[in-house]
Chain A
Amino acid sequence: MSIEINTKDGQVTITNDVIATIAGGTAVECYGIVGMASKSQIRDGIAEILRKENYSRGIIVRQEDDKLHIDMYIIVSYGTKISEVASNVQSQVKYTLNKSLGLNIDSVNIYIQGVRVAKD
């Protein structure tokens, strides 16, 4: 599946992978995030932190009647305020996708798949 944008000079097609990669790259730069997780942890191993090239396994881009929705599966750091970390990811992902692809994302849904307790 991909996103198509019509311009006067022709069509631009952006695959979901592109969106997922940008969203994932943005998310891991957010404070409090320790990684992206796979959406199906049972199959892929418990709380596996995804490498960059696998971000799309933890990010789902859905298009429903012209509206874009992104589901992101993340692991956060223990001791942070999870709701705030999630809302930061939401606003930052929305902002970055809008700036780099000109896309307006209707919702960014965050699924916290794990909490990483840092060793002292």
Chain B
Amino acid sequence: MTAEKIDGVALTNMILAGAHHLTNNAKKIDALNVFPVPDGDTGTNMNLSMTSGANEVKKLKSEHAADVANAFSKGLLMGARGNSGVILSQIFRGFAKGMDNKETVTVKDLAACFDSGVKTAYKAVMKPVEGTILTVAKDAAKEAIKLAETENNLIVLMEKVLAEAKASLKRTPDLLPVLKEVGVVDSGGQGLVTIYEGFLAALKGEELPESSLELEMEEMVNAEHHRVTQDFMNTSDIVFGYCTEFMVKFESDKLAENPYDEEAFRQELSEIGDSLLVVSDDEIVKVHVHSETPGTCLSLGQRYGSLINMKIENMREQHIALVGESEKAVSKELEEYAIVTVAMGKGLKALFESLGASVVIEGGQTMNPSTKDITDAINKANARNVIILPNNKNIRMAADQAAELAEVDAVVVPTTTIPQGITAMLAFHPEADILANKEAMDEARRQVKTGQVTYAVRDTQIEGIPIKNGNFMGIEDGKIKATHQDKAETTKLLLQEMISEDSEILTILYGEDVDKKEIDTLVAYIEDAYEDLEIEVHHGDQPIYSYIFSVE
């Protein structure tokens, strides 16, 4: 093997070293696992997948690089376990494809393999989550491609790839909030870094020490804590109340009496606590455990040597403090979305607010708000995107102007009635962008039939229908459909016009001039006359209009 080219034998060595290194570190990777499901098996799964790939390579014993890569890919696919295992199998499936049946591999080829691996891996997912093994593989591959233009030495390439993978791994908490919260790096990403470490060591012809992974005890402890806190919500649900951490410095005379056995020690501790971590080398053992009897844990440790760096915390008290804090937190941040709308009457205002309107401007048929009123409302809403619902055709112009003047993104959904406004609000989707929302809300408001009952203030004639001062009028979407001297009769005539066989829901907003008895009588009538109709009644408290109906 030279530093410029590797053959199947060298590639086999790399894969075996990667697999071996991963086996040695699987447990630590398990401890990091909080995403996507904190079940602590990422390391185990990756290890099983990797071992299956390595076994195929071992069986093959070929000097042909592409053959080795293909065998590795096949083994990984067959042995893929868990999410991380499947991703790993895809990365190396692409890697093998990138090898393009070459017998030996140069720097350029290897870089192309890494790149091809990333491309294949990304293809197999609908919504790639960044901050995972995918991101680590991608960043490392990018570095490889860049370097391959000028570099011929494979060891240098692998060193750079590993360095970038490590750097990318360090960035994963910035991309994935759950990692940041727990204070760990992504477990799958860590697994890939471990494999790359193995690759590099094999290229250099070095032996990797067992458990050389630079993984802080602190990270593992954080992960353990998080897994525990996820499982309960109430302080009283905490079973083991004291978080206990300590180190034992081995002393030879004590060890002579009590030989140290990590498995046995772990077993003993697991009987009196959980969230257990025991990590040891020749000189020291570090322990993290949640227990009701921290003293007992310390005593168990003391059998092997002297205690150093002890820390015991009462988690119940911490939890109480934490819960209190989160309740106090109030956000004054800029909102993503606000809806500004116009309505008259306390009831309607409350109705719009309950649907999520940020600002309801007082106004309507006889009192149109000005452009300035709407502009002020937009500013008051304090949001990046503002949707304006004028709910009246006379206010539409002012709303359009205000939207143009606004410093933030503002759009008008041209609702002309209160029911249209309400229906438009129901179509609002906070996750969609503003134009999609505008479209959906506009579409929704067109589906509504609006009816209004009001009275005439003078004698007049509209569309051939004579109307006397004081008579009631039933208006459907701007057209007078009924008129009568009796309010109840007008209402019935209007409803007859509006309700068809396809109608499902009738919403009634009754005005300030309607009393409880009157609305009850009306509802009883409708229930009787239209049996299949679902009726919703709200006290709109609006002036001028006795009733506002919407039929859907």
Question: Which residue numbers of A lie inside 8 Å of B, CB to CB?
Answer: 28-35, 77, 79-81, 84-85, 88, 91-92, 95, 99, 118
Contact = CB atoms under 8 A, between A and B. Distances in A.
B126 interface: yes
A84 B82 contact: yes
A118 B123 contact: yes
A29 B36 contact: yes
B90 interface: yes
Given A31-B86, A91-B39, A84 B81 contact: yes
Given A80-B86, A84-B85, A85-B86, A33 B36 contact: no
B17 interface: no
B127 A29 contact: yes
A35 B83 contact: no
Among A28, A30, A77, A79: residue with most chain B CB under 10 A: A79
Query: Which secondary structure dominates where chain A touches chain B?
Result: mixed
Given A88-B86, A91-B39, A77 B125 contact: yes
A31 B93 CA distance: 15
A80 B87 CA distance: 8
B366 interface: no
A77 B123 contact: yes
Interface string B393-405: 0000000000000
Contact of B126 (A33, A81, A88): A33
B80 interface: yes
B77 A34 contact: no
Contacts of A33: 125-126
A94 to B, nearest CB: 8
Given A92-B37, A95-B37, A31 B125 contact: yes
A88 B93 CA distance: 20
Contact of B125 (A32, A79, A81): A32
B369 to A, nearest CB: 34
Contact of A81 (B37, B80, B123): B80
B124 interface: yes
Contacts of B537: none
Interface in B214-271: 230
Interface in B60-83: 77-78, 80-83
Given A31-B87, A34-B125, A80-B89, 13 more contacts: A28-B127, A32-B124, A32-B125, A77-B90, A77-B125, A79-B120, A80-B86, A80-B124, A81-B78, A84-B86, A91-B37, A92-B83, A99-B230
Contacts, number: 68
Contacts of A28: 126-127
Contacts of B89: 80-81
A53 B52 CA distance: 40
Interface string B81-104: 111011101100100000000000
A77 B77 CA distance: 13
Nearest to A53: B429
B129 interface: yes
A32 B86 contact: yes
13 contacts: A28-B127, A29-B36, A29-B127, A29-B129, A32-B90, A32-B124, A79-B77, A79-B93, A84-B82, A85-B86, A92-B36, A95-B37, A95-B39
Contacts of A88: 82-83, 86
A80 B85 CA distance: 10
Among A80, A91, A99: residue with most chain B CB under 10 A: A80
A4 to B, nearest CB: 20
Nearest to B233: A102
A85 B81 CA distance: 9
Nearest to A36: B126
Contacts of B93: 79
Interface in B342-400: none
Given A79-B77, A84-B80, A118-B124, A30 B36 contact: yes
A81 B77 CA distance: 6
B86 A81 contact: yes
Contacts of B81: 84
Given A31-B83, A88-B82, A80 B90 contact: yes
For the complex of A and B, the 5 pairs showing the least CB-CB separation, nearest first, are A77-B124, A118-B123, A81-B80, A95-B37, A28-B126
A35 to B, nearest CB: 6
B112 to A, nearest CB: 14
Given A31-B125, A84-B81, A79 B90 contact: yes
Contacts of B37: 91-92, 95
Contacts of B126: 28-29, 33-35
Contacts of A80: 77, 80, 86, 89-90, 124
A83 to B, nearest CB: 9
A79 B124 contact: yes
Contact of B124 (A34, A91, A95): A34
